[in-house]
A and B are shown apart, each in its own frame.
Chain A
């Protein structure tokens, strides 16, 4: 009897403790998203109230118009390219962070975290300077008499900048996976005569496979929804789905269409997040 009373009181206390964050998220996160979802089925009338009724025309417009199909294709290609390059460049870095001596480890950790915590706006601005006219890259190539690189407002310029923006996510995910591999396995394979490359291919890569998959999915999901970097580096010539949402929302002010596009983008990233969570859970069981 007594235990029951205590329990019930504890439950009330728990609910009270949850209330601020849950109410906040319900009112200013879930409700606006639900509202947006409903808006995506409204007719669009410029500068006026929409006529009542339910329509799928906003979704049909995104799927049917070749401009938006092209934008979607470009966005997916950008995401895949960034994910693969981040994986190739990030893997050695993740391995180094896990295996180097503690002092160096702290140093490398700072180098990963400072860009992660620096505003994406500032990093993209840095890439505008780096890739732009009068930037270090152009000056360096000019010294050797080489032509100025054309990277600003191009697909590959956007890829380079996005790889830098996404790299910390990849490295942190991979490092978590590599950390679970026992160093004794590496020593064993080396003692049995395997070269470093052999050891990497036969031991480290297979054991970190779930981490590799999780990191790639995460970076792909983040890249296809990236906004600031494609706008600042890619500009009008590298339009992505997020740019379409922004323009429709703030320039064209076609909110039903912006809502529909947003909802499609969100569905894709939520599915990818689900896959990524499954991969991480799989990775936890992988080495046992």
Chain B
């Protein structure tokens, strides 16, 4: 990351200049302000990050810059200048010209950004054709462009359709198209949010690299502070449509000067914080409603530092030196913000000698698809002890969810698989399980919008669970309903609401309450916080930790966010292509030596703590389940590839230290030594990674 070199850019006008930008949306006949006086400047060649929780107006900024607001939106004040030209003075033709040549945008969902019926080559070439280049030359330029975004076989990719590419490849194509016209400004709106950590890391590296090559200015929008810090020179923190803090990315991250930025950073489970040490801090309250009348300071209602002056007098954008600005009366004391949630954590250590609640042995699940056998889960063995959390990590397609569904009885495992509950075999299909077995295993899904029936009230959802799982009725049910709502800190006054009337965090609390209705022994948490904002995520993680300490429940916790997994897990299982690659205590797995795949996963997490770390890139994509690589399934992408033994012989899952298992030909000592340094380039003679399925 090179900061904008001021000397070379003195002459060039700023790539983007927003002055007091106001945007309003008309909802039910009323104009509701969404952006309220947003001002910032992106110098030529600079990369600027915009961060904030959902509903803060981040994407609206992007659309306003492109003059592509939704039909019910309008710029109601202020000005937008792109490369020195004022948008307000532009006619439609000029706006089109600007979009065609000066500004590009990359959206969150690359699958939706590509036309499914046009071949990739034609789509990329189209950008050049529009710029007036003849079609034949345009195709050549398209090939060049795809090479630049590190697509290894551009000729073959150009002949394909969007659905034939993986998410990471699609996003590369979209970036290629965005940069094809050599824009002054590239807007990236959550470009890696839907991608796996390993793919995300690659895409981010690519963007950094291309930015240096093209000298493009970047507006990077993300809810993920770590990504922003990694990618941006400067950052603006947006809250309720107002810029509350601005400064160099490192400064804002290491020494935030606005209570909101402080709060956001404290919510993150980073730096190895664990549930047995402390609870995460949270941000109380909610974002103001769209277009609501705002108090003098937009953040006063949620701020632990607020005093009388805050609701009377609007804070100015205080200059905190070195390009720092904070819209807070008490910016100098921002770091003294009191915790909103006490740090003290109740915790019951896991009894390692206790009989396991769940024991899974030789767990296999094979799907049949067009004559192919797809082994989604292959020979997985593990135990869950009472009161512990087993974290399950791996890229998408590694079989995490299938494993969970198999355990729950929603999908039946293959013959020969053994699942035991409290030492006795469990029926494979849920329909054959008795009530006690059914209530013993429950799940919290990722997305509460889809997990809660939108037609039912909270009361009906929870009552049904109590009836079916506990056999409750009448007064007893009412009693349990109150207890249940209380245990997940759900306000009983909201019990008659439907899910759509609740915020994301409250909906997830209802989903958790439903899972706990039958006093389960084991709860599977399938990415329970990945659809939530960080402050809400912190509250939910705290709740899960508290429920565990209180009820002694066991969690199987699935997440792609390693910080979250680390916070909650006692032990961690790493899955790749349906196989267990590593299993051990959380801290053992997180500290070297680890399995080479775990090593790669860990190093792809953007580090916000400023600690520079050698990154390990996983090359290529996850191989096809239908045709897994020979020998060790990871050998095609392994950064520590040894030699022929890796593709000839599949390593056993062996106990390398007490309680620490991995599936690798290397021994602990060898990897401990090797992992002191980053791996070299892929060893010569290693088979080329498969780029596509």
Decide whether A and B are members of one complex: no
Measured CB to CB, the residues of A under 8 A from B are none
